[in-house]
Amino acid sequence: MTALITRRVVSTLLVLLGVSVVVFLLVQLVPGDPARVILGQNATPAAIAEVRQALGLDKPIVVQFMDYLGGLLRGDLGTSLIVNSPVIDIVLPRFMNTLILAGAALIICVGVGVPLGLLAAKKQYSVFDRASMFISMTGASVPVYWMALLLIGFFGLTLGWFPTSGMYDSREPGGLPDLLLHLVLPAVAAALVPLAVIARMTRSVTLEVLEQDYVRTLRASGLPESTILWRHALRNALPQIVTVIGLQVGYLLGGVIFVEVVFGWPGLGGQLYTSISQRDMPTIQAGVLFIAVVFVAVNLLADISVGVLDPRSRKQAVA
């Protein structure tokens, strides 16, 4: 088990190194000179050269990368080109808000998607199965921002059940209950597509498990169908479900960016959107890096749990 975890952690570190390279190259590949962004259209060449020197942009690219990497390791993500404060101070609070939103969406995905898939598999070809799979297919086909607008229109404006924007009520912020109320619509909007994928995958994996010989042994032992489904089938389908969930977190984080913009959620997505339109490269880099790190970390976690969940791979890892 320790060997498995060590191997996964090492490969994750390598992936993170790759991520930092790609994030660093963002600045090099995107047209436009950061110095010109700071100084504006009418800057003199001398002023631009001065700023380039201050930013280290005149050094060879390898040196720039080493500087960047060194900064990362010290927790220094650079300084924003627009607001002239450390990027980390801008990005970190936003990142926390994004984690709240993504976490809530993930809870919905897993809490609804997995049981839905299990029940659909149990009642294969029933009305419930067909209806839930049709709805989840439709859900997966609708773009997140469009779904967000529909939710705002119906639950926010027509019914008036939920607030449509922000994280807290701006006039009388009400702590956790207020936050939860504001969380409902964006979390649902962000959750829909991954939820549909998770439900469909859970269904097909469970169907496969229910075909296995040992399920017949369980039935022949007199176990009730509910125990077979929720204990044995779920337990055997879990490694694959967890893998899918890990991958869907990536999709979730991508969707969250749109959702944050539509719902005015003060998260990383909204910040990235603003920073991209302002060409604030260090902030964009930091935002992308944070999202990539979360994705990689979640999948590391998923990999390790799959190892823990499947007794067979546990054995191999030790051997």
Partner 1 sequence: MTTPTPPAKTGSPATAPVLEIRDLSVEFATDSGTVRAVDHVDLTVEKGGILGLVGESGSGKSVTALCILGLIGSRRAKITSGEVRFQGEDLLTKTERQMRDVRGGRIGLVSQNALSALDPSFRIGDQLIEVIRLHQHVDKATAARIALDSLDIVALPDAARRMRSYPHELSGGQRQRVVIAIALACRPQLLIADEPTTALDATVQQQILDLLLDINKNLGTSMLMVTHDFGVVAHMCTTVAVMRKGRIVEQGEAGEIISFPRQPYTQGLMNAVPRLRLSETERAVPRSQRRLPVFVEESAFAERADYATV
Interface ranges with partner 1 (CB under 8 A) = 212-214, 216-224, 232, 235-236, 309-312, 315
C-alpha–C-alpha distance, residues 70 and 162, integer Å: 45
What's the sign of the alpha-carbon dihedral 150, 155, 157, 159? positive
Indicate the residue among 69 and 309 with the shorter CB distance to partner 1: 309
- Nearest to partner 1 of 8, 232 (CB atom): 232
For partner 1, the closer CB: 31 or 222:
222
- Taking the C-alpha atoms of residue 53 and residue 194, their distance in angstroms, rounded to an integer, is 45
CA-closest candidate to residue 271, choices 98, 76, 34: 98
Q: Least distance (Å) from partner 1 to the CB of residue 141?
A: 30
Q: How far is the CB of 84 from partner 1 (least distance, A)?
A: 56
- Under DSSP, the state recorded for 31 is S
Shortest gap between Cβ of 206 and partner 1 (angstroms)? 14
Q: Rounded to the nearest whole angstrom, what is the least distance from the CB of residue 221 to partner 1 in the complex?
A: 4
- Per-residue CA distances from 120 to 39, 136, 221, 229, 231 (Å): 59, 11, 24, 11, 16
Toward partner 1, which CB reaches closer, 55 or 218? 218
Nearer to partner 1 (CB atom), residue 56 or residue 224:
224
Region label for 44, one of left (φ > 0), alpha (ψ between -120 and 50) or beta (otherwise): beta
Tell me the closest approach of the beta carbon of residue 239 to partner 1, in angstroms.
9
Comparison of 294 and 317: residue with beta carbon closer to partner 1: 317
CA-wise closest residue to 111 among 228, 203, 191: 191
Residue 280, sorted as left (phi over 0), alpha (psi -120 to 50) or beta, turns out to be beta
Of 318, 316, 266, give the one whose Cα is nearest residue 91.
Answer: 266
Q: Is 59 left (phi over 0), alpha (psi -120 to 50) or beta?
A: beta
Least CB distance from residue 222 to partner 1, whole Å?
A: 4
